[in-house]
C-alpha cells in the first residue's frame, strides 16, 4: 500500500464516515433526550434522499405526502387528546385537501439545492410527527419497548418508500462535477461538500446546545427527565425537537450521499446500522464520541474493503461486540474504583 | 337446429372444462435485482395475454402465476414451494438471479417439476447429470465471457482486472474469465469482489487502479455495475471498461449517462434488434417480440424481458407437443412429459438465439447469441467483427 493509496482510502473513508457521523449524532441526540434507540434512523436518510430526487425530477414527492398524512394524524390526535370534538373536521378535511392539492399540482422541477432544503425540512417534520404519534403516547415505557417501536417504524417507512418511489435506483446531481487534486489524490467536490457540511452542522449544533436556551433545556431533559419537568421543561416538546433535528440531519446526510451511491428505497438499513456502530464506538453518550466513532467506522470500512474486498461490511458490523465488551469491562473497573 | 344447439352447448361445456395450463413464475420484483425482474414480469404478462388471445395452447387457457422473490434466495425457495404445491404449477420459471436459481434446484428436483431459469450462471445447468429438471434461457456466461475476451485481444489488451459480485453470478464470470483469458493470451492481474448490497466500492476500485490493467471487466447488474464503473473512474482509471450482459436494461444507461461512452460489452441480439443481420435465423422472432413489446409498453425490451419471453415460447412449444398425449389433470405425468419435450427441442428459434437442447446441454445456445457492442451517447453501437 503506497502513501497515495492510503491517502485515497483515508479521504474516502472520511467522506463516508462523515455521513455515519451525522447519523450517529442523530441517534445519540434522540437517545439522550428520549432514551429511544432509533432503528429507523436510516429511513430518514432514505426519505430525505428520495424526496429531494422526487422534487427535482418531478417524480412522486412521497415525502411531502407523508408529511401531510403525518401532520393530519398529529392534529387529529391533538384534537382527541384535548377533547376538541368540534375541531375534528379540521385535520381530516385539511389533510384530505392538502393531499389532493399535492396530487393536482404539476410535477415540480426544483433546483437541487432548494429540493434538498425542502426535503430536509419535510423529513424533520415527519420525524417530529412520528415521535408524537408513536413514542410519546408510551413515554414512560422501557427502552426495549422503544426499540421495538422504532423497528416497526423502520419496516413501515421502508414499505412506504417502496410504495412511493418503486424499487428502482435514482441519481441526484452532484453539487459540481469534477474534483481537486490534493497531495496526489483526487478529491471530488462532492466529498469536499460532505466534509464541510458535516463540520458546519457540528458547529451549529454546538452553538445550539451551548448558547441557546432551548439547547440547554434539551441537554437538561437528557440529563434528568424528572428534574427537567420540575423546572418547567416539557419532555414532550424536548422529544419533538430532538426527533426533528435528528431526522433533519439524516435527511441532509441522505441528500449529500445520494449523488455518490444512488438513492433507493432500501438504502436506509445499512446506513443506519453503520451510524449506530459509530455511535456505539463513541459510547452512545457524547456527541464528539459519536462523530469520531462515525469517522472511525468510515475509515475502517475503506481500509478493510481494500484488504479483503467483500468483507468490509462484515468487519464493521463485527466491531460492535468487542467494543461493547471493552466498554463493559472499562465501566466495571471505573465503578469498582473508589 | 337442435343438433346445432347441442354442439354449441357441448363446445361451451368442453371449453369451460378445458383445464388451465398453470405456469408458476418466481421473479425478483423488488430488491437489488428489481430492474431485471420488472422487464421479466412485463414480458410474461404480455406473453400470457398474447397466447390466450390466440386461443390458448391447444384450446387450454394459459395461466402464469407470478410471485415476488425480493431478490432473496430463501424467499425464492418458499415461493417455488408455494407455486408447486398450492398452485399446482406444471412448470416453473425461476428465477431472476443466479443465487436464487441455484437455491431452488434441490426442491424442484425433489418435486420433479421442470424449471426454466432466467439467470446467467453455468452452474445452474451444470453438471447436466445433476440438473435433470433445470433449463435456462440466457446464454452461458462462458459464451459471453469468451466473446468479450476475444474483443479484448482485438483491442490489444494484454492485462485485465476483474471486479464482480461475490455470489454465483459474479464468481461465475470470474471462473469463465480464468478459463478464457489464459487461452487467448490475456493476463489477469487483480480480482476484486463485493456484496450485491454494497454501495461503496472505492477501495476495490483503488486496488484495481494500482494494479494498472489495460482493461477491467465488471461482472454485476445495475445499479451495482454503475457504482463500480463510477468508482473506477473516480479512482482515476484510464483504461477500457468492459461490462457484462447482466447490465443491459435502461437503468444502466440512465444512471451512467455520458460517463459510459466507450464501455464495451457482449450483449444479446435483442438489444441491437434494429441492427441485426437478417441472415440470422432467429431475427424474425426478435423483431416480432420487440414490436409487440413496444406496442404494449411503449419502450424497447431489456434482454431480461427477452429471457422471460423465450421461457414462454419454450414452454408453449413443449406443452403443445405434450397435450397431444397427456392431459394436464395428471400433474406428475404432464410435468415429466413437459421436461422431456423441452429437452428434445432442436433448432428452436427464439429471442435469445437458436436453442438446441440435449440431455447434456440444458442451456442450448451458442456463440451466435453474443453480439459485441460499445456504448456511445446512451445507445449501443455494434462492433463490426
The residue ranges of every structural domain in chain B are: 2-139+284-366, 141-267
Task: For B274-299, write each residue's pLDDT tens digit.
Answer: 888 778 889 999 999 999 999 999 99
Q: In whole angstroms, what is the distance from residue A31 CA to residue A143 CA?
A: 10
* b/e per residue B58-88 (b: at least 16 CB within 10 A): eebbbbbbbbbbbbbbebbbebbeebbeeee
Say whether B210 and A2 touch across the interface (CB within 8 A).
Answer: yes
CATH architecture assigned to B141-267: 3-Layer(aba) Sandwich (3.40)
Nearest to B114 by CA among B328, B342, B324: B342
Chain A nearest C-alpha distance from B200 (Å): 7
Check residue A221 and give left, alpha or beta (phi > 0: left; psi -120 to 50: alpha). Answer: alpha
Please report, in angstroms and rounded to a whole number, the separation of the first and last CA atoms in chain B. 68
* Interchain proximity B236–A188, CB inside 8 Å: no
Pick from B51, B20, B90: which is nearest to B342 by CA?
A: B90
Query: Looking at CA atoms only, how far is residue A126 from chain B in angstroms?
Result: 25
Helix (H, G, I), strand (E, B) or coil at B165: strand
Which of B29, B31, B203 is the closest to A306 by Cβ? B203
Is B35 touching A (CB cutoff 8 A)?
yes
Per-residue pLDDT of chain A (338 residues; tens, 9 = 90+): 788 889 889 999 999 999 999 999 999 999 988 889 999 999 999 999 999 998 888 776 778 888 888 998 998 888 888 888 888 888 888 888 888 888 777 677 888 888 899 999 999 999 999 999 999 999 878 889 999 999 999 999 999 999 988 888 888 888 777 778 877 778 888 888 899 999 999 899 889 988 999 888 888 887 777 888 888 888 888 999 999 999 999 999 999 998 888 889 988 988 999 999 889 888 776 788 889 999 999 999 999 989 887 788 888 888 888 888 887 787 766 665 55
- Cβ neighbours of B35 in A, within 8 Å: 167-169
In angstroms, the CA B187 to CA B213 distance is 9
Distance from CA of A306 to the nearest CA of B (A): 5
Could you tell me how far CA A90 lies from the centroid of its own chain?
31
Q: Name the closest residue on chain B to residue A305, using Cα atoms.
A: B203
Tell me how far CA of residue B329 lies from CA of A187, B317, B322, in angstroms: 66, 19, 12
pLDDT on residue B14: 47
Hey, where are the domains in chain A? 18-61+108-268
User: Are B234 and A186 in contact (CB < 8 Å)?
Assistant: yes
- CA A123 to chain CA mean position, Å: 9
Chain B contact probe: residue of A181, A310, A316, A317 with most B CBs at under 10 A = A310
For residue B265, the surrounding DSSP H or E stretch is strand B264-267
**Chain segment B330-350, per-residue pLDDT in tens:** 899 999 999 999 999 999 999
Asked if A306 is an interface residue toward chain B (Cβ–Cβ < 8 A), one would say yes
The topology under which CATH files domain B2-139+284-366 is: Rossmann fold (3.40.50)
Does the beta-carbon distance from B193 to A264 stay under 8 Å?
no
Tell whether omega for the bond before B95 is within 30 degrees of 0, i.e. cis.
Answer: yes
Question: Who among B204, B227, B235 is closest to A262 (CB)?
Answer: B227
Residue contact B202–A302, C-beta within 8 A: yes
Cα–Cα dist B269/B290, whole Å: 11
Residues whose CB falls within 8 Å of the CB of residue A100, separated by 6 or more in sequence, listed in order: none
Residue A175 has what pLDDT?
A: 75
- Does residue A262 sit at the B interface (CB-CB below 8 Å)? yes
CATH topology of B2-139+284-366 equal to that of B141-267? yes
- Which residues in chain B (227-266) have CB-CB distances under 8 A to chain A? 227, 234-236, 251, 255
**Cα dihedral value B2, B5, B6, B10, nearest 10:** 170
Q: What is the pLDDT of residue A95?
A: 86
The per-residue pLDDT for range B178-223, each reduced to its tens digit, is 999 999 999 999 999 998 888 889 999 999 999 999 999 999 999 9
Of the candidates A262, A306, A310, which has its C-beta nearest B255's C-beta? A262
Task: Return left, alpha or beta for A131; rule: phi > 0 is left, psi -120 to 50 is alpha, else beta.
Answer: alpha
Residue B202 to residue A264, Cβ atoms within 8 A: no
Cβ atoms of residues B262 and B236 within 8 Å? no
| Interface predicted TM-score of the whole assembly (ipTM), two decimals | 0.81
Asked if A169 is an interface residue toward chain B (Cβ–Cβ < 8 A), one would say yes
Amino acid at each position: 500500500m503506497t502513501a497515495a493509496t492510503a491517502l485515497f482510502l483515508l479521504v474516502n473513508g472520511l467522506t463516508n464516515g462523515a455521513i455515519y457521523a451525522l447519523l450517529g449524532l442523530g441517534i445519540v441526540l434522540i437517545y439522550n433526550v428520549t432514551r429511544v434507540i432509533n432503528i429507523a434512523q436510516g429511513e430518514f436518510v432514505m426519505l430525505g434522499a428520495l424526496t429531494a430526487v422526487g422534487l427535482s425530477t418531478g417524480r412522486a414527492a412521497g415525502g411531502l405526502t407523508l408529511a401531510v398524512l403525518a401532520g393530519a394524524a398529529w392534529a387529529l390526535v391533538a384534537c382527541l387528546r384535548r377533547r376538541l370534538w368540534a375541531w375534528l373536521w379540521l385535520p381530516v378535511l385539511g389533510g384530505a385537501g392538502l393531499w389532493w392539492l399535492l396530487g393536482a399540482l404539476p410535477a415540480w422541477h426544483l433546483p437541487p439545492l432548494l429540493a434538498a432544503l425542502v426535503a430536509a425540512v419535510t423529513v424533520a417534520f415527519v420525524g417530529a410527527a412520528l415521535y408524537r404519534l408513536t413514542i410519546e403516547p408510551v413515554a414512560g415505557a422501557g427502552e426495549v419497548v422503544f426499540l421495538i417501536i422504532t423497528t416497526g417504524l423502520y419496516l413501515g417507512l421502508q414499505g412506504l418508500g417502496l410504495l412511493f418511489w418503486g424499487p428502482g435506483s435514482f441519481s441526484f446531481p452532484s453539487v459540481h462535477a469534477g474534483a481537486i487534486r490534493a497531495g496526489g489524490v483526487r478529491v471530488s467536490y462532492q466529498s469536499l461538500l460532505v466534509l464541510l457540511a458535516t463540520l458546519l452542522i457540528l458547529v451549529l449544533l454546538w452553538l445550539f446546545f451551548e448558547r441557546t436556551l432551548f439547547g440547554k433545556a434539551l441537554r437538561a431533559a437528557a440529563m434528568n427527565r424528572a428534574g427537567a419537568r420540575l423546572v418547567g421543561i416539557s419532555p414532550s416538546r424536548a422529544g419533538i425537537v430532538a426527533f426533528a433535528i435528528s431526522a433533519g440531519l439524516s435527511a441532509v446526510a441522505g441528500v449529500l450521499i445520494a449523488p455518490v451511491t444512488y438513492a433507493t428505497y432500501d438504502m436506509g438499513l445499512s446506513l443506519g446500522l453503520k451510524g449506530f456502530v459509530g455511535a456505539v464506538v463513541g459510547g452512545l453518550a457524547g456527541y464528539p464520541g459519536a462523530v469520531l466513532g462515525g469517522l472511525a467506522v468510515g475509515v475502517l470500512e475503506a481500509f478493510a474493503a481494500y484488504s479483503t474486498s467483500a468483507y468490509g461490511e462484515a468487519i464493521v458490523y463485527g466491531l460492535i461486540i468487542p467494543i461493547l465488551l471493552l466498554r463493559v469491562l472499562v465501566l466495571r473497573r471505573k465503578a469498582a474504583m473508589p | 337446429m337442435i343438433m346445432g344447439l347441442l354442439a354449441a352447448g357441448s363446445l361451451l361445456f368442453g371449453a369451460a372444462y378445458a383445464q388451465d395450463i398453470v405456469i408458476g413464475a418466481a421473479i425478483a420484483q423488488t430488491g437489488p435485482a428489481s430492474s431485471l425482474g420488472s422487464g421479466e414480469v412485463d414480458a410474461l404478462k404480455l406473453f400470457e395475454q398474447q397466447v390466450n388471445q390466440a386461443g390458448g395452447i391447444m384450446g387450454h387457457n394459459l395461466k402464469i402465476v407470478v410471485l415476488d422473490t425480493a431478490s432473496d434466495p430463501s424467499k425464492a425457495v418458499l415461493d417455488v414451494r408455494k407455486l408447486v404445491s398450492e398452485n399446482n404449477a406444471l412448470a416453473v420459471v425461476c428465477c431472476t438471479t443466479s443465487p436464487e436459481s441455484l437455491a431452488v434446484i434441490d426442491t424442484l428436483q425433489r418435486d420433479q417439476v421442470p424449471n426454466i431459469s432466467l439467470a446467467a450462471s453455468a452452474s445452474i445447468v451444470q453438471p447436466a447429470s445433476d440438473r435433470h429438471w433445470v433449463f435456462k434461457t440466457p446464454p452461458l456466461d462462458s459464451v459471453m465471457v469468451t466473446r468479450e475476451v476475444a474483443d479484448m485481444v482485438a483491442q490489444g489488451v494484454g492485462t485485465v482486472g476483474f471486479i464482480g459480485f461475490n455470489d454465483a453470478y459474479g464468481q461465475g464470470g470470474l471462473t469463465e474469465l480464468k478459463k478464457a483469458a489464459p487461452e487467448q493470451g490475456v493476463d489477469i492481474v487483480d480480482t476484486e469482489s463485493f456484496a450485491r448490497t454494497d454501495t461503496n466500492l472505492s477501495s476495490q476500485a483503488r486496488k484495481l487502479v494500482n494494479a494498472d490493467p489495460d482493461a477491467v471487466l465488471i461482472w454485476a447488474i445495475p445499479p451495482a455495475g454503475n457504482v463500480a464503473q463510477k468508482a473506477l473512474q473516480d479512482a482515476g482509471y484510464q483504461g477500457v471498461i468492459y461490462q457484462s450482459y447482466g447490465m443491459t436494461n435502461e437503468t444502466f444507461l440512465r444512471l451512467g449517462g455520458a460517463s459510459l461512452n466507450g464501455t464495451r460489452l457482449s450483449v444479446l441480439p435483442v438489444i441491437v434488434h434494429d441492427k441485426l443481420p437478417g441472415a440470422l435465423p432467429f431475427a424474425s422472432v426478435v423483431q416480432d417480440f420487440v414490436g409487440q413489446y413496444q406496442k404494449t409498453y411503449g419502450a424497447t425490451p431489456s434482454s431480461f424481458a427477452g429471457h422471460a419471453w423465450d421461457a414462454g415460447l419454450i414452454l408453449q412449444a413443449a406443452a403443445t407437443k405434450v397435450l397431444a398425449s397427456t392431459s394436464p389433470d395428471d400433474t406428475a405425468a404432464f410435468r415429466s412429459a413437459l421436461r422431456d419435450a423441452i429437452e428434445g427441442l432442436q433448432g428452436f428459434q427464439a429471442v435469445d438465439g437458436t436453442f438446441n437442447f440435449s440431455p447434456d446441454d440444458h442451456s442450448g445456445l451458442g456463440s451466435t447469441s453474443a453480439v459485441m457492442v460499445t456504448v456511445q451517447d446512451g445507445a449501443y453501437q455494434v462492433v463490426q467483427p
